[in-house]
Structure 1
């Protein structure tokens, strides 16, 4: 009898606890609030893209219907996706000068800007499936970002860079088309407004893009630890530049592989930074420990100082190329030569390449 009474008491206490939990569920007392679900904000021509971006929360998506939007867009919200409906979704500059109270992206003349702050990078922003056309600055400009993703974007006929990033890490630029921009189609740098050593990009990726009609297809300047692969670079003045200077750490420690770089024979005049450019496939200037492998580099022809298929060229401030590996590339029909090593620098290795001419002789 005594054991049965103890068992009954335990059962009553258990039932009491279950009833208390049930009451809390009904009343909401003591439970954490449910997380807000990501929202989708749809914008149509004639409506403000910036207003939708400003209203969005981290994790939200702003979707642009097909059509033309006359504005610049500034993104400072983490995990935001700005997605068009394909190339027929077009951002172009607004008519007339930017208003005095416009955001900095509009005043600078860029199309889309993704910007963090000195103390906090803006993380995991995605821009995809739209066209950026005719801005006096850059089509897309990113600064202080982490894991920015730019995919299936057409950036064309912009005054300086098509897609550009500085002071950022782990960016991904994939399957974009960059054409007829004033400088590089795709540009990654440590910082454009300050000197300093190359910065670690944390494994940034430039892959599967098409660049044509630009001054340079792809430029990576004073950066390290990234991959440039499977891009098609044609009809630019130069296909690709890997740029360093006397600062430390040196630029380089990257992989350039499986790119198709052909017919980059436009003639571009000299600038304050570079001499005349024509007929350059891949140019390394001030690079160390970069691996250039399994690329196809054909018919880049010119008589400029950096002309050639794969060219190691001492930088204009005297920084040498050191310990780079040029291996298993198909390099043919380039002039002044298929493989070129000009200037000082030791430890550079040319091996397994298919080529017909080199400067100096013996690199093929």
Structure 2
């Protein structure tokens, strides 16, 4: 028995040693191509990139295209106390990947042959790590995964990537931590069609939507700072997404975030779903069920602090109404818990229009034929916060509290 156990330990140690020996380190310096290093890398390799400006192949639709399993791409930085949104700080201290020529998306991670406009992929890429990059000025997306299992985005910056800044989609088992994203006409950070994603300690501002979740399962967002957007956090029905519904789309936990001053004028492209969102909203749940919004600080959002709305109620009179675009799944908002949040100064400067009667710290508005059930508002502070409710008794729902 002792001999067998010793042999098992030896076999595991040999496997780890062989894997470590196989992994290599590649280095890239200003004036060289990061993509060339990616193409030369083997699974498990680490690529270290020195600070500077990088303009990759102008004829590609991607700044960088990753198809190799378990690749680690790390941007080195010089010591600096400047905030990453300080352009001068980025120029001198970070790895800057800058849009060039026909490029549409900055960093795109997916199996070979599975491109960002494809609807399906037969394979799955295993593992990816990105740290220390500033990705700037792409007309589509900044940093995007599709069909990736096990990824980490840590301490990156997305600057003026016009669709979405940081965009994990159709992926699983991911960590998005300590990033900064701003300047998107859709969403600074969007988790879409994904499962088991943690979003922790990010700073999201200066966009139409700061943080968004659609068509996903098991997403945790905590200790993020979200401000100066049209809508701080949007949790949206599948009709507002580009992905079909999943069998289970539950357990989005939004806790311990600071969500404030989301009063930015809406400059989303005309005709888009985002263009219909009214400015001044902290957290908006539209036609989604079985989620938790708790222990957040929500302040000075001019229209709504935290709101639960039925999808059809919210989109009435827009191009995305249920009459124009019938819902592809239940449009009611059910079994959501809004608890232990601290709200102040919300609803004091609504945008002007027919929905101004909803202006308040807390809002429940659902007029669907199948009225939502199981929602619970409890223990939100202070006691004198303002609220609006479409419930028959005029009170905020407390089902299943």
Give the alignment's TM-score, normalised by structure 1: 0.80
* Cα pair distance change 1:284/1:34, threshold 3 Å: closer
CA distance in 1, matches of 2:259, 2:299: 7
CA distance in 2, matches of 1:245, 1:112: 25
Q: Take 2:363 and 2:248, find their aligned partners in 1: how far apart are those partners?
A: 21
CA distance in structure 1 between the partners assigned to 2:72 and 2:155 by the alignment: 13
1:330 maps to which residue?
342
Q: Which residue of 1 aligns with 2:363?
A: 340
The corresponding residue for 2:109 is 114
**2:173 aligned residue (157, 170, 181):** 170
Structure 1 distance, partners of 2:46, 2:259, is 35
Confirm or deny: 8 A CA contact 1:267 1:276 kept in the other structure.
no
Counterpart in 2 of 1:300? 301
1:86-123 deviation per Cα after TM superposition (whole angstroms, max 9, x unaligned): 351100012x33xxxxxxxx4xx111110125232111
1:255-294 → structure 2 map (5 Å cutoff): 255-269=253-267, 271-274=271-274, 275-294=276-295
Larger Rg: 1
1:124: which partner in 2? Answer: 127
Q: Deviations over 1:37-91 (max 9, x none)?
A: 3211110111011000010111111111010001210001011011101351100
User: Aligned partners of 1:330 and 1:126: how far apart in 2?
Assistant: 35
Q: Is the 8 A contact 2:255 2:296 kept in 1?
A: yes
**C-alpha distance in 2 between matches for 1:272 and 1:181:** 14
1:357 aligns with 2:353: no
1:272 Cα offset (Å) = 3.1
Structure 2: gaps (5+ residues): 1-13, 57-62, 78-89, 115-120, 240-244, 316-321, 348-358
Tell me the number of residue pairs that the alignment of Structure 1 and Structure 2 aligns.
308
Q: Does 1:320 align with 2:332?
A: yes
| Residue 93 (str. 1) matches residue 99 (str. 2) | yes
Measure the CA separation in 2 of the matches of 1:225 and 1:271: 30
How far did residue 34 of structure 1 move?
Answer: 5.0
Which residue is equivalent to 2:67? 76
RMSD of the alignment, in Å? 2.1
1:345 offset after TM fit, Å?
Answer: 1.0
Distance 2:273 2:227 in 1: 22
The 5 Å alignment of 1:120-269 reads 120-190=123-193, 201=195, 203-245=196-238, 247=245, 249=247, 251-269=249-267
Matching residue of 1:46: 31
> Is 1:310–2:306 an aligned residue pair?
yes
Report how far residue 250 of structure 1 moved.
6.0
- Runs of 4+ aligned residues of structure 1 deviating over 6 Å after TM superposition are none
Structure 1 unpaired stretches of 5+? 1-30, 98-105, 191-198, 303-307
Q: Answer yes or no: is the 8 Å Cα contact 1:245–1:251 preserved in 2.
A: no
1:56 alignment partner, one of 5, 19, 41: 41
